[in-house]
Amino acid sequence: MIETKSSDSETVISTQQQAGTKNDSTKGPESIYTVPLLKLIKEAQQQHGLRHGDYQRYRTYCSSRLHRLRKVLQFPQGDRKGFKKREVTLDNLKDEKFIYLPLIQAERAWAYAMQLKQESNTEPRKKFHLVARLRKAVSHTIHLEYICQSPLCDARTKLEAQAYSAWMQGTLFFELQEWKQASEKLVLSQTIYEKLASALNEDEQILYKQRVEELNPNLRYCAYNIGDSSAQQDLLNMRSKGGKSELDALIAQTREKQAASLLEVTWRGRTVPVRLEKIRVFLLAYQGLDASLGKANDFDAKLSAYETLLLDCKEAIQSLKEDLAAVAKTKVDVQPSQLGSQQYLLSYLTFLRATLTIDRNLVMVEVFQKNFAAYQSGESKKVAKPQEGVKLYEAMVQLSGELQQLQGIENDKKFQSDLELLVKIFKAFRCYYMALTCQGNRQWAEALALYQRSETYINQTEGKKLGDSEFTKYSRVGQDLSRLRSLGNSGKCAAHAQNILGVEDINAAMSGLSVRSKKSLCLRLDEFVEDASLTSATPNVIKLPPTMAPVPCKPLFFDLALNHISFPSLAESMENKKSTAAGITGFVKGLWGWGGKK
């Protein structure tokens, strides 16, 4: 009876599936979902924290979006009474938004794992939690891949889900250091993304090609750990092109693995042990410097290689100083007969830092000389001043002086003599560029003195060569002294002439001189000027009509002497007139009886 029931149930299920397929076929192409998973992921990551490496913010966003999706789809996990887990299945795949649920769950778990990876640098125990979250993310991606295999999803969605799942699994195996399995999964993911990029239009190809490039460093690191010795150099070339922090981390891990075999170093006949890991890693990087410089295509790539190595050297010196300080606190002060091994190692690291800085400055000098020559000839409008050369050579002079004071090599005569020779070479170039600076400021006497000082340094180095093996690489700088001598001689002559003339701007002074004159003959009777017009039909004797000239106005005269003249008194004449008038008036008044006083 049980067998018949089971067979009946199977027939019912098969009929339901057939009916479902018929219904699906009647729906047509409208029921097929197209979900660009990689595009959705990248947009969400760029907008919610990963542009600045904030994985916690992105994880919070994923949790909030999951809550919103479940509410919109009416697909909660339980009710007020308790939690009831609900997974997306093929039966309830009624909307393409159901595909978002496992995708965002995987992104949330992955973001939490990356956050723990950042924190594991200071708390190593968090690596276990990191692996657990990655396993959770892998389980969600496998479930996503299973759902996307439904006939409701198109081919692109299926391929994207498969590539995303393979990438997540490869990331897990990479953290577990299972290199072979990680390489297989990452290669599978990279292959699918390459095929997708070739099938899409140009606008959508960019995102998938970037994804393919992002997988290259991890694949080369896996190949190196599997046994491919050329993979480390490939990682270095990738870093010189891209400069990403992930590549730096992978290269650091590679060097740490090689550093286990580097236990001691020999310098100038003395072998000292190397105990600290950072120093070993730096020395390995220093050994590969020549190969990196050989593959550098331009000056910027060389400078980048030097800058990276100098940062590693600085960290190695700092770690050694801290170790020496910690040892000094525990030991009793005893004056040793010979410099300690770690102190000698510190001198060696200081020497490497100084020589690397000099090498980098020489590369910068080449760039400066090229730009300066182009600017002087007018081929380039980019301003290049001689002060830049002064700064570079001044730094090299100071570094050479520091090398002369290194502990442990004070009595090395060959080393010290080559350093003195190198200092004079650098000072000769420094004086030359200082003279150019003074010449640009029209300080002719100072420029002449600096040219002479540069020639003095050149004469002191003449006939001498750098014989120490540590400094033979700078012999090319000494060969440039002959060219510097010729440049200095020409500059010295120009500065000397300008100093004698005493003219600040000689070009402006010479431009005012002229053999011919436009003045007429009557205006230059005391000057001899060759004028061919005097023998022509229209000689320049006088200008007609003559030019108007200002003349003084007619003067005004003021009688100022009147104020100082004393005239005779007329008082007597004035009294006689008054008396005569009174007599006549009285006669008339008396005659007629007028004007009488009553």
Q: Show which of 504, 534, 569 is a domain's final residue.
A: 504
* Residues 347, 435 share a domain: no
* Residues 470, 420 share a domain: yes
* Residues 435, 375 share a domain: no
Whether 91 maps to a domain, the answer reads no
Question: Taking all residues of the chain, what is their mean pLDDT, rounded to a whole number?
Answer: 79
* Residues 424, 373 share a domain: no
* Residues 422, 318 share a domain: no
Q: Show which of 384, 417, 451 is a domain's final residue.
A: 384
Contact 541, 522 (CB under 8 A): yes
Contact 240, 217 (CB under 8 A): no
**Which of 251-264 are b and which e, b meaning 16 or more Cβ less than 10 Å from the residue's Cβ?**
beebbeeebeebee
Statement: residue 574 has pLDDT above 80: no
Whether 220 maps to a domain, the answer reads no
Q: Show which of 479, 504, 529 is a domain's final residue.
A: 504
* Residues 322, 280 share a domain: yes
Domain count, the chain: 2
Q: Which residue, among 112, 111, 101, 108, has the nearest Cα to 71 in the 3D structure?
A: 101
CB-based contacts of 326, cutoff 8 Å, min separation 6: none
Statement: residue 372 has pLDDT above 50: yes
Whether 289 maps to a domain, the answer reads yes
What CATH number is associated with residue 428? 1.20.58
Instruction: Determine the 3-state secondary structure of 272 from DSSP.
Output: strand
Statement: residue 85 has pLDDT above 60: yes
Whether 357 maps to a domain, the answer reads yes
Answer whether the bond into residue 545 is a cis peptide, omega within 30°: yes
pLDDT of residue 115: 92
**Domain range enclosing 286:** 262-327+339-384
Q: For residue 266, what is the enclosing H or E element?
A: strand 264-267
| Segment of 15-24, 89-98, 103-112, 548-557 carrying the highest mean pLDDT | 103-112
What pLDDT, in 10s, does the model give residues 405-460? 888 888 888 888 888 989 999 999 999 999 989 888 888 888 889 999 999 999 98
* Residues 423, 465 share a domain: yes
Cα(426)–Cα(213) distance, rounded to whole angstroms? 45
DSSP string, 320-358: HHHHHHHHHHHS-----SS--HHHHHHHHHHHHHHHHHH
* Residues 380, 266 share a domain: yes
What pLDDT, in 10s, does the model give residues 202-237? 778 888 888 998 898 888 888 888 876 555 555 555
* Residues 432, 353 share a domain: no
pTM for this structure?
Answer: 0.50
